[in-house]
Structure 1
Amino acid sequence: MGATTLDHEVVIVGAGFGGLGAGIEFTRQGMTDLAILEREDDLGGTWHVNHYPGLAVDIASVTYSYSFEPNPHWSRLFAPGAELKKYAEHVADKYDLRRHIEFGVAVQRAEWDDDGQYWTVHTDDGRSRTARYLVTATGFLSQPHTPDFPGMDTFAGKIIHTTDWEDGYDFAGKRAAVIGTGATAVQLIPEIARTAKALTVFQRTPIWVVPKIDFAIPAPVQTLFQKVPLTQKAARLVNTAALEALMVFGVLHFKQAKPGNKLAALLSKAHLRAQVRDAATRRKLTPSYDFGCKRPTFSNTYFRVFNQPNVTLQTSPIERVEADAIVCADGTSVPVDTLVLATGFNLWDTNFPAFQIVGRQGRDLGRWWREGRFQAYEGIAVPKMPNFLSLNSPYSYSGLSYFTTIEGQMKHIARLFGELRRRGADTFEVTEEANTAYLDRSTKALDSSVFYAGDCTGSRSYYFNQHGEATLLRPSSTLSTLREMGSFPLEDYTYRAAPVSEPVTAPAPTA
């Protein structure tokens, strides 16, 4: 690489597993002048922000982890959230990333300087930093959604969003309400139902739930994983194969493998029938859309909750919120003193991207996506955005474990920066032609997916953006993703050397 006079070689935004993976890969590439900017007060991303009761992975831990950094000490097949947080800390320490992380720093915008060929990153503390390369690792689920029902500001009780949980909050004697029935709610609702005097679950869209084959991992097995790593690799392979079958055949190739999709739906319906006694309640809990339109989840306790006398399922839409109640469209008034918002995240309006990014020729990434089509070459690069890599992008999420996506992107970074070194270049930019070809391939491949070949009417899935396109998932298998990310055509990028210039430094912090 050419000599740099900037504040940093690389600025990475986000210290979750995506940002840590990028930090590891850039370090492997010999780039040690990194700044990892994290808006929270600690690392771990979603596993730091979320700590509500019942939090656990919904992908087996042997798969939901870096393949190159296995953890032999998971306590359960589906580890509790605290263990994922501890694992993130272990990774940061082992790969010496903590010294690069700045906590409590929220990025507001970033601008590309085409003359100097660098990025200026502005943060909410009034500072700015210059860097040759900018990487966003802000996650897919980082911008919480708060509903704006009429009267929300008049509610006199306690409001808790699942991303801002109050540890130790006691639901005993409380008349609680949970709004939302996504994956978070499926984990949380059984915990609240244990002690709440009354719990009303407000469901807008039911979710497909399948049995969770979970168990404690005995100490001898953990010791075996530690002493014979191949055994844990084998466990990872088996679990990955099962997830691959569910994702590739049940979701991505719905048109060709419709019986497999229907079998998954029948499994969920049988699970529901076995756990919920009341037929009317079962009907309300049964999705009307095809399996896979909305991310399914695993639980052995969620359905059973609705047999409890203190739990009510409410499917009439919320009309307004009052000081001590929620009023539904059918006229039902539900007394509430504790309101829990399990309302998910805003992906397409505020998360892509999570802050303003302005590239070459003034291209505003967020505006470009929303006014046109959401797109990113190989789910990581964007035309007119030189030296920019977005780890949470359209058509990037591969498989059901986020770590497939992360490790594929690490392979892409290694190949791209290897070519920069070979050419003696500093700047890269994906071509419009390569980006368009990838978008066309992805769109065509998704034609046979459940999103377009199935019935997703009424699913209200975050897989679909505001244009009605399912642009989140990369339509290829895990093996294909990893292979393609490590072997993309090098001519899909243009390369150039950065100019030699006087030092470019950020201004001092403002008062």
Structure 2
Amino acid sequence: MNSSNGSPVTPAHEVVIIGAGLGGIGAGVALRRAGIEDFVIVDKWPKVGGTWLANTYPGVAVDVPSPVYNFSFQQRSRWSRFFAPGSELQRYAEEVVDKQGLRDKLLLGSGASKGVFDEANDLWRITLDNGSVLTARFVIGAVGGLEQPHNPDIPGLADYTGKIMHSSRWDHDYDYRGKRVAVIGTGASALQLIPELAKVVSRLTVYQRRAIWIAPKPDFAMGPVLNSVLNFPPLQQTVRFVGNVGVNAGLGAGLAVSNYPRVTSVGLTVGETALKSYLFAQVRDPELRRKLTPDYRLGCKRPSVSNSYFRTFTKPHVDLVTDAIERFTPTGIVSADGVERDVDMVVLATGFKVMEKGYTPPYPIYGRDGLELGEFWDANRFQAYQGVSVPKFPNAFLIVGPYAYAPGSYIPLIEATSAHAARVIGEARRRRATCVEVRQDPHDRYFARMDRRAKRTHLFSQGCVTSNTYYINYQGDGAAFRPSTQLEMYWENRHFPLEDYLFTARPPALARANGRRTKAGSAR
């Protein structure tokens, strides 16, 4: 679309970042490091923090060690616990925003509802929930994967008259103490939530579809001495590096050595034996232990850590139901064995819509020729070069795209893909290009390499397909993870050939405007 006098349209911002969680914050810092100042970070929430702002259920905490879960450019040395509570992570996000000078870049309280690429002017038009439209030369999508709650499709759910909430949308005004509570789901959120609920409710019923692999949680209060030790930068950096290597090995070793299936199988067997021994030490009742033992291989789903989850089910007022849920009634839940259990409150700890049709992305994005990104992925499978760029979607980048995340801490992922986006935008500035788009061939080679690797992992060779893991989407692909080490993820996102992208400047007037912006810096 051109202006009324036929001259090219100058965008209001050079970059719009969608999402003010740690991904959007990391992207903002990466842009600043590349000398790019004219950007804005938009988010639907009233504060920064993303996942750590939205998830406030009892017991919410990071499931990797706190000294690992921070940015390399701003490592925090004050943690209350080795596995910090979620509120502390949200405060850390605020600290990064302030220290990195991003506060005046924030536009909070109205998220994106649509994105359209204007081919005539080489810019993006981002419509916000409040109806306003932002224009930008480039857009970075930093909406996390754990964003859209997954509510189960169970008959009668709408007829239930008690309190119902998803774990990621906790209602703190509701007093559940002394109530009969049901939890549906036994994933990572439920693992933290269930022991806390059991402390105060009169009866807790947990509906489990699949058990979860759990290791002991080496959690402890950090205290002033340990925090002061971590405040010594060389030691802090060493701890962060070693910790990230350990977390990557624990969560993604089977994916990284996918070309060695026998090694993977032996490693998984050793790990499963150790975790079954831990379960045996926690639960002596053989029938209860059988119910809590996963029927799929370690690594099919993201494993977790807890010191109290197993023992919670040994309490007399806690029931574990493994029969499928048949339907809701106005006052409770009927399981497949015909038993109806009346409950005052139902917690849906049923996870999120990850790489699902209509939810990734969570709003329509239109690239060249009106191509919509969600529809493209639905028809052609989820794919993105280095998890960042998709052909026919120029000037657009993702922080958590398909095949981006090498399992481990999310922070190295954010830093890697943010560096990728900032490098391309910086090169576009240098070349005075108004349009940059990943070339089809390198994109296709990356997709084929990741798909080939993923299909060799234990996720596809040892029964994981039937484990209901979010690692495998509705298309039968492992698009939610990158089958590699985080070291490879780090290196390839910083050292990819720039010629994998096509840089163009058309019409000439736009190129001149882009060149002036490069020299002048911010041009709001």
Shorter-chain TM band: over 0.9
Give the corresponding residue for 2:5: none
User: What letter is aligned with 1:250?
Assistant: G
Determine the structure 2 residue equivalent to 1:279: 286
TM-fit CA distance, 1:168: 5.9
Deviations 1:56-106 (A, max 9, x none): 100111111111210000111111111101100000111111211111212
CA spacing shift, 1:170–1:454, aligned 2, 3 Å: same
Please report the TM-score for the alignment, with normalisation by the length of structure 2.
0.92
1:278 is displaced (CA, Å) by 1.5
1:270 equivalent to 2:277? Answer yes
Contact 1:58 1:78 survives alignment (8 Å)? yes
**Structure 1 segments unaligned to the other structure (5+ residues):** 504-511
Task: Give the drift of 1:219.
Answer: 0.8
Assess if the C-alpha contact under 8 Å between 2:184 and 2:207 holds in 1. Answer: yes
* 1:218 Cα offset (Å): 2.7
> Root-mean-square deviation (CA), in Å?
1.7
Amino acid paired to 1:122: T
For 2:291 and 2:466, how far apart are their aligned partners in 1? 14
Residue of structure 2 equivalent to 1:209: 214
Alignment partner of 1:118 is 2:126? no
Residue of structure 1 aligned with 2:90, choices 85, 105, 122: 85
* Equivalent residue in structure 2 for 1:95, among 82, 97, 100: 100
Which whole-Å CA distance do the structure 2 matches of 1:13 and 1:104 have between them? 12
2:237 aligned partner:
233
- Cα deviation 1:125-157 (Å, max 9, x = unaligned): 121111100111110000011123111122121
* Cα drift, residue 457 of structure 1: 4.2
2:487 aligned with 1:494, yes or no? no
2:224 matched residue in structure 1: 219
CA distance in 1 between partners of 2:117 and 2:325 (Å): 45
Q: Contact 1:289–1:457 at 8 Å: present in 2 too?
A: no
Q: Structure 1 residue runs of 4+, over 4 Å off?
A: none
| Matching of residue 355 in structure 1 with residue 363 in structure 2 | yes
Query: Contact between 1:428 and 1:493, CA under 8 Å: does it hold in 2?
Result: yes
Distance (Å, rounded) in 2 between the aligned partners of 1:187 and 1:482:
30
User: How many correspondences in the alignment?
Assistant: 500
Aligned-partner Cα distance in 2 for 1:176–1:217: 33
- Equivalent residue letter for 2:87: A
Matched with 2:471 is 463
Q: Secondary structure at the match of 2:383?
A: coil
Letter in 2 for 1:328: S
Q: Where does residue 59 of structure 2 map in the other structure?
A: 54
Within the candidate set 196, 200, 225, 1:195 is matched to 200
1:302 aligned onto 2:309: yes
- 1:444 maps to which residue? 452
**Aligned-residue offset at 1:293:** 0.7
1:367-446 aligned at under 5 Å gives the runs 367-446=375-454
Write the letter of the residue equivalent to 1:315.
T
Q: Provide the TM-score with structure 1 as the length reference.
A: 0.95
* Cα deviation 1:97-126 (Å, max 9, x = unaligned): 121111121211111111110011112212
Equivalent-residue separation in structure 2 for 1:280 and 1:252 (angstroms) = 35
Distance in 2, matches of 1:129 and 1:421, equals 20
Once the 2 structures are TM-superposed, how far is the Cα of residue 441 of structure 1 from its aligned partner? 1.0
Offset from partner CA, 1:183-208 (integer Å, 9 cap, x none)? 00000000000111110000011111
Report the counterpart of residue 16 of structure 1 in structure 2: 21
Q: What are the superposed Cα offsets for residues 363-411 of structure 1, whole Å, 9 maximum, x if unpaired?
A: 1110010111110001000000000001121100123110111111122
